[in-house]
Structure 1
Amino acid sequence: MNVALILNYKAATETISCAESILAHCATLDHVVIIDNDSQDGSAVALQQWLDEKQHRNVTVLNNPENSGYAGGNNYGLRWAVENLNPEYFWVINNDTYVDSDAFSPLLEALKQNDRQFVGSLVLSAETGRLECYGGGKLYPILGKARLLGKNQSIETLQQQGLAHIPDYLMGCSLAFSTALTKEIGLMDEKYFMYFEEVDWQYRAREFGISIKVIPESRLFHYGSLSLGSRSAFYHYYRNRAATRFNKRFYGPGFALVSAFLLSAVTTIKEFRHPTLAWSGIKGAFKGVAMSVK
């Protein structure tokens, strides 16, 4: 069985639109699991009312009893699916996306050829049709930053370049993998709460010989971040905390400490007119250094 996971947080309308698009276009998907991450805004009721009205037998709506972040919410759905659906392959897809063609079958075909890999899609802007990223991005760990591959380019330009781009990581916006892989490497680290969860997961998987691959035939459209809105104290704290904790795990505490200073400087420069936001970023950067890693 092939299962899609869609995490909802205070965006039931967008989540329903995403689910309906993959139900309409992705025939090789057997089941869609929607996880409401304790939205407390009526989302859970709206999702259940939609399901009752449409009577999709291949859709399940779950209510996570707490907002456990991106990793925790998706892990909640993944565990439920493993216990109840006997899935072979998973597709994690952001709720602020939609498809207008079968974006899952190319991912499935790649996994059937090699299930010891994560595979991802081309992510296109819903407004312009141009690339938001060629599957993922490049990391600059010492700065705690990342750059999306191919952002704002046209698909034609990338095709002319031979699609010879290799990201350091795949975006969690569209990420497919086998159940067997999760049993081998474990699930996402929920201590991140927001940001770097899927990056950490893929880097940990490297230790098991797991690779990543972009499947350009798989394409989906992305509206943009719905859960966070504009950059805020929340954004700076969790984004910087995740970056330095990631660095501590994979590059050591000394590297993470240097990264925290540099990231704090960058945040301060960007938010010099908003000292409260800058301070949130600084606290997050050094909190990440202090957090435990395994």
Structure 2
Amino acid sequence: MNCAMIILNYNDSQRAWKLASRCQEFTSIDKVIIVDNKSDDNSAEYLLNMNCNGTVDVVLSPENNGFASGNNIGAKFAIDKYNPKFILFANTDTIFENDDVEACLKKLTSNRTLGLISMRMKDVKNNEERSSWKFKPFYEYLFSNFWIYRHFNYDKYTYNEFNDGFQYVDIIRGSFMLFKSEALIKANFFDENTFLYYEEDIISYRLRTINYKVGMLTDHFYIHNHVYSGKENYSFINYHLNRSLKYFLVKYYKINKLEEKLLDMAIFWGDIELRIINKLKLRKSNV
């Protein structure tokens, strides 16, 4: 088999099924696999009922251990059952075409050192969004805990200028990732010690250490149709964001004890700053 696609679902079964239904018609994709990451709605029942003819593989995770774990379940299932040369991971809220996948596969096939590829990303209003960025020095990760610093330096390490057709990058967005299977296996899959966030940074770092490169097609785009409910749990988000950042820096950047203490302090004061800013925004919205 040439290419298997993994769609990780959590409480978004209708969009997961819609994406799977579209992509199983692509000539570039041989098999679509949906992993339900222990959704707490009726996703599992819905997906199994929709898949009554068995054209899509639906895999039910026994528990939700996060993005990395759920995608690893799908990847290992695909490798054990189909042994594909390439594995595509796409979020339920992405939109792309067969030609886009074909172009990515062509580049992966022709470039021996390329292990992971993606495309530039737009929102549903056709505005280009941040799709790739560079590894930063430790002090940048440290200062980025503070809103004022982020406000003026958010795009400092973002790729905003692109070569014609293709270029190598450090890190690509996790919403669309197409791997050579051999590269993903040699990198030992995604690191399951994070629940959310920094999965892209970590897998890109792992690939670099085993001499695989990460690249981007600069003349192809996919749409990331973010849907926000307005009820996002920002405490949950901030907890996992901070936890994943610290894990990434300790495990992969191998920061020392002093740097770790400085990071803890920055995270602590950054959280306080964020709470104050959110309260001010709420107060202003209620005026």
TM range (shorter): 0.7 to 0.9
Tell me the CA shift for residue 231 of structure 1: 4.8
| TM-score, normalising length: structure 1 | 0.80
Alpha-carbon contact 1:107-1:218 (below 8 Å) kept: no
The residue matched to 1:192 in structure 2 has which SS? Answer: coil
Tell me the CA shift for residue 130 of structure 1: 1.4
The residue matched to 1:90 in structure 2 has which SS? Answer: strand
Alpha-carbon contact 1:3-1:90 (below 8 Å) kept: yes
Identify the residue that residue 121 of structure 1 maps to in structure 2: 119
How well do the aligned residues superpose, as a CA RMSD in angstroms? 2.6
Identify the residue that residue 171 of structure 1 maps to in structure 2: 173
Aligned pair in 2 of structure 1 residues 166, 261: CA closer, same or farther (>3 Å)? farther
Counterparts of residues 131-170 of structure 1 (less than 5 Å): 131-133=128-130, 135-138=131-134, 139=136, 140-143=140-143, 147=155, 149=158, 167-170=169-172
Identify the residue that residue 149 of structure 2 maps to in structure 1: none
The residue matched to 1:272 in structure 2 has which SS? Answer: helix
Q: Distance in 1 between matches of 2:12 and 2:249?
A: 32
Alpha-carbon contact 2:170-2:204 (below 8 Å) kept: no
Aligned pair in 2 of structure 1 residues 51, 217: CA closer, same or farther (>3 Å)? farther
Q: How many residues align?
A: 262
Alpha-carbon contact 1:144-1:263 (below 8 Å) kept: no
Q: Distance in 2 between matches of 1:258 and 1:113?
A: 44
| TM-score, normalising length: structure 2 | 0.82
Deviations 1:120-164 (A, max 9, x none): 1111102x111122x32244423356648468xxxxxx67x8579
User: Which of 89, 93, 102 is residue 92 of structure 1 equivalent to?
Assistant: 89
Deviations 1:166-214 (A, max 9, x none): 6431111111111111222211111111111221111122111111111
Aligned pair in 2 of structure 1 residues 226, 245: CA closer, same or farther (>3 Å)? same
Identity %, equivalent residues: 22
1:34 aligns with 2:34: yes
Q: Distance in 2 between matches of 1:260 and 1:168?
A: 26
1:47 aligns with 2:47: yes
Tell me the CA shift for residue 56 of structure 1: 5.8
Tell me the CA shift for residue 273 of structure 1: 5.5
Tell me the CA shift for residue 228 of structure 1: 10
Deviations 1:44-101 (A, max 9, x none): 111122222xx363x2111011001000000001111111111110011111112245
Q: Distance in 2 between matches of 1:49 and 1:83?
A: 25
The residue matched to 2:100 in structure 1 has which SS? Answer: coil
Q: Distance in 2 between matches of 1:98 and 1:29?
A: 15
Aligned pair in 2 of structure 1 residues 32, 264: CA closer, same or farther (>3 Å)? same
Aligned pair in 2 of structure 1 residues 89, 252: CA closer, same or farther (>3 Å)? same
User: Which of 58, 61, 85 is residue 58 of structure 2 equivalent to?
Assistant: 61
Aligned pair in 2 of structure 1 residues 67, 97: CA closer, same or farther (>3 Å)? same
Q: Distance in 1 between matches of 2:95 and 2:87?
A: 17
Q: Any stretches of 5+ residues in structure 1 without a counterpart?
A: 152-157, 276-294
Q: Any stretches of 5+ residues in structure 2 without a counterpart?
A: 146-153, 280-287
2:34 counterpart letter in structure 1? I
Aligned pair in 2 of structure 1 residues 251, 142: CA closer, same or farther (>3 Å)? farther
Alpha-carbon contact 2:7-2:35 (below 8 Å) kept: yes
Q: Distance in 2 between matches of 1:227 and 1:91?
A: 27
